[in-house]
A and B are shown apart, each in its own frame.
Chain A
Amino acid sequence: MGPDGAPSVLNGTVDTIAVVVLLAEFAMLRSTLLRSQIRLYAAQSFVVAVLAAVLAFADNSYELLILAALSIGLKVIAVPVVMSRTVRRAGADVAGAGSLRAASSALIALVAAGFGFFAVGRLGLQAHGLSPTVLAVAGAIIMVAFVLMTVRTDVVSQSVGFFSLENGVSVASLVVAAGMPLILEVAFLFDLLVAVVVFGVLIRVHHAEQGSLSTSDITALRG
């Protein structure tokens, strides 16, 4: 703790980076173009990698740098490239579809973020002397990602929402268990890779069958 109840410079920096990740999540919710959504996901993943690097230098645990490099390679370059190629191939819609207007979905997300904040903040978890704020922000990121997946009715936004949810989980795991064995962290990353493949296939199949990326057509299949 610094003077006047302010967190230390490291804590403040880590908190701020986490808040930037949260803001990127809100920006994803706001952006309608699928392309810009994927770009925002890449930017968000980059910020998470920066967080890993900052923690690596703060903790002298340099294996986190390997993790940062891996997540840059995978989440900043590979996943966005695969996703944008899928969208370009589908060629059907440029913009995603939402069931709510921008302002209402932002308000709902704000309420959900507040819930995430308080739900996690009340647990009072403390790790490595880092402030509980980061965990609370991670909770908010996950909640907003859920809102993104819920209010959007196109496959691409929903999968981007799922991937960015993984970013929220990464933030939490980086802070709580920075000393976690590298192999586990890498395993998480490869989980994500599996998810990308699964979602890629799903998007292809859905587009081939429905001729669009919107999931609202699927509702018609109800028996």
Chain B
Amino acid sequence: MGLEIAASGVQALQVATVALGAPWVSGVIARVEAVVQGRHGPRILQPYYDLIKLFGKESLRPAGAGAIFLIAPFVAFACYLTVPLLIPILTTFGLPLGSMGDILGGAFVLALAAFFVSVAAAETGAPYAQLGASRTTTFSALTEPVLLFVIFTVGLLSGTDLPYKMAETVTSSASQLVRPAHLLASVAMFLVVLVETGRIPVESHRSTNELGMIEHARTLEHSGPYLALLTWGSQMKQMILYALLLNVFVLPWGLASDRAAGSVVWAIVSLLLKCVAVGVVVTAIDNSFSKLRLFKITEFIAAAFLLAVIAVLTLYLGGG
């Protein structure tokens, strides 16, 4: 066994992987999408250039917007830096701060970020930003019960509410993989990820039509470094949700089971590759379905809810 990395070092690497890897994942997904649509598409590193450009620009504040408008991007960014401490990004074992919060805690921190961005959007007084804020809040209130039932399933399956324990349970045997509860919860979680990352069939993320926007509309009034933080934050949120889906539910393989440098580096590489794989699936969905009408989104979320409830039901009877 070669070099070992200190536990706190691995912890820091988890955060760094998400912070620095998220724009790359977004860049690759954008490129894949362009290729699927027969375009050449932007460079893979384009998201980094965009962030650098935005950090160098001046920022404007709408008249009447208060302190929260300026604080929100920082709070949201801090939240997205905190969540990678709580969920299994690179390791199957708990890290020093990993037991600081359970899976509910992670969900709360993500909700706090969404709350601040929405309040900032309401602060601007601009119609489209406010529309985005109210829509986001409505739909996240609807996805909340789905997420709760998914968390219940995770809890019943693994006997704990710590996400990395769940990853351990799934990798323990093939019989854990084919249980209907696990499969149903995974599908429900995937649908939640589609809603939360603003993808078809909920939202067309490349659209510039404000009336069709949900989450994207909230940041319309921010500019310069503030917009850079929000954009970076949403890229990180996407990667966090992908990592949660992959490492807790679908593909918890490739995670490091010890602190050896080699296995941690392999964990980073495999996570990035797995995220790109999810991105390709999402892109395929993006390009083969049309956007749902706004009032049909509730039915989409209801389908996810149905899956999550059936997951809990099959489990509750034992066995399932």
**Interface of A toward B, CB cutoff 8 Å:** 2-9, 11-13, 15-16, 18-19, 22-23, 26, 30, 102-103, 106, 110, 113-114, 117-118, 121, 131-133, 136-137, 140
B307 cross-chain contacts in A, Cβ below 8 A = 23
**Interface of B toward A, CB cutoff 8 Å:** 169, 172-180, 183-184, 298-299, 302-303, 306-307, 309-310, 313-314, 317-320
Q: Tell me if B302 and A12 are in contact (CB < 8 A).
A: no
In the complex, which residue of chain A has the Cβ closest to the Cβ of B168?
A: A4
In the docked arrangement, what's the CA distance between A5 and B319, Å? 7
Q: Tell me if A7 and B319 are in contact (CB < 8 A).
A: yes
Check A137/B314 contact, CB under 8 A, given A6-B179, A9-B178. yes
In the docked arrangement, what's the CA distance between A113 and B306, Å? 11
Q: Tell me if B179 and A7 are in contact (CB < 8 A).
A: yes
18 pairs across A/B with beta carbons < 8 Å?
A2-B173, A3-B172, A3-B173, A6-B175, A11-B175, A12-B175, A12-B177, A12-B178, A12-B179, A15-B179, A15-B180, A15-B320, A110-B309, A117-B314, A131-B318, A131-B319, A132-B317, A133-B318
A110 cross-chain contacts in B, Cβ below 8 A = 306, 309
Q: Tell me if B320 and A133 are in contact (CB < 8 A).
A: yes
In the complex, which residue of chain A has the Cβ closest to the Cβ of B156?
A: A5
Check A106/B179 contact, CB under 8 A, given A4-B169, A15-B314, A121-B317. no
A114 cross-chain contacts in B, Cβ below 8 A = 309, 313
In the docked arrangement, what's the CA distance between A153 and B313, Å? 29
A7 cross-chain contacts in B, Cβ below 8 A = 175, 179, 319-320
In the complex, which residue of chain A has the Cβ closest to the Cβ of B313?
A: A117
A132 cross-chain contacts in B, Cβ below 8 A = 317-319
A12 cross-chain contacts in B, Cβ below 8 A = 175, 177-180
Nearest CB in chain A: distance from B197 CB, A: 24
B180 cross-chain contacts in A, Cβ below 8 A = 12, 15-16, 18-19, 133
Q: Tell me if B178 and A16 are in contact (CB < 8 A).
A: yes
Picked from A6, A102, A113, the residue with its CB within 8 Å of the CB of B310 is A113
Interface of A is mostly: helix
A8 cross-chain contacts in B, Cβ below 8 A = 175
In the docked arrangement, what's the CA distance between A121 and B319, Å? 11
8 further A-B pairs in the complex, CB-CB below 8 A; given A15-B180, A117-B317 = A3-B175, A6-B175, A7-B175, A11-B319, A12-B179, A103-B298, A121-B317, A133-B314
A103 cross-chain contacts in B, Cβ below 8 A = 298-299, 302
| A-B pairs with lowest CB-CB distance, top 8 | A12-B178, A2-B175, A131-B319, A121-B317, A133-B320, A19-B180, A16-B180, A6-B175
In the docked arrangement, what's the CA distance between A18 and B180, Å? 9
Nearest CB in chain B: distance from A174 CB, A: 16
Check A15/B310 contact, CB under 8 A, given A6-B173, A102-B299, A106-B302. no
A3 cross-chain contacts in B, Cβ below 8 A = 172-173, 175
Check A113/B319 contact, CB under 8 A, given A16-B179, A16-B183, A19-B184. no
A30 cross-chain contacts in B, Cβ below 8 A = 299, 303
In the docked arrangement, what's the CA distance between A15 and B178, Å? 9
Nearest CB in chain B: distance from A121 CB, A: 4
In the docked arrangement, what's the CA distance between A136 and B318, Å? 11
Q: Tell me if A4 and B176 are in contact (CB < 8 A).
A: yes
A6 cross-chain contacts in B, Cβ below 8 A = 173, 175-176, 179
Nearest CB in chain B: distance from A104 CB, A: 10
Check A19/B302 contact, CB under 8 A, given A7-B320, A132-B319, A133-B319. no
In the complex, which residue of chain B has the Cβ closest to the Cβ of A114?
A: B313
Nearest CB in chain B: distance from A184 CB, A: 28
In the docked arrangement, what's the CA distance between A30 and B298, Å? 13
A106 cross-chain contacts in B, Cβ below 8 A = 302, 306
Nearest CB in chain B: distance from A94 CB, A: 19
A11 cross-chain contacts in B, Cβ below 8 A = 175, 319
Residue among B172, B177, B298, B319 facing the most chain A CB atoms (10 A cut-off): B319
B310 cross-chain contacts in A, Cβ below 8 A = 19, 22-23, 113
Residue among B299, B307, B313 facing the most chain A CB atoms (10 A cut-off): B313
In the docked arrangement, what's the CA distance between A140 and B16, Å? 47
A23 cross-chain contacts in B, Cβ below 8 A = 307, 310
Q: Tell me if B320 and A131 are in contact (CB < 8 A).
A: yes
In the docked arrangement, what's the CA distance between A130 and B14, Å? 42
A26 cross-chain contacts in B, Cβ below 8 A = 306
In the complex, which residue of chain B has the Cβ closest to the Cβ of A135?
A: B317
A19 cross-chain contacts in B, Cβ below 8 A = 180, 183-184, 310, 314
B318 cross-chain contacts in A, Cβ below 8 A = 5, 131-133
B299 cross-chain contacts in A, Cβ below 8 A = 30, 102-103
Nearest CB in chain B: distance from A170 CB, A: 18
Nearest CB in chain B: distance from A153 CB, A: 20
In the docked arrangement, what's the CA distance between A12 and B183, Å? 10
In the complex, which residue of chain A has the Cβ closest to the Cβ of B178?
A: A12
In the docked arrangement, what's the CA distance between A8 and B313, Å? 19
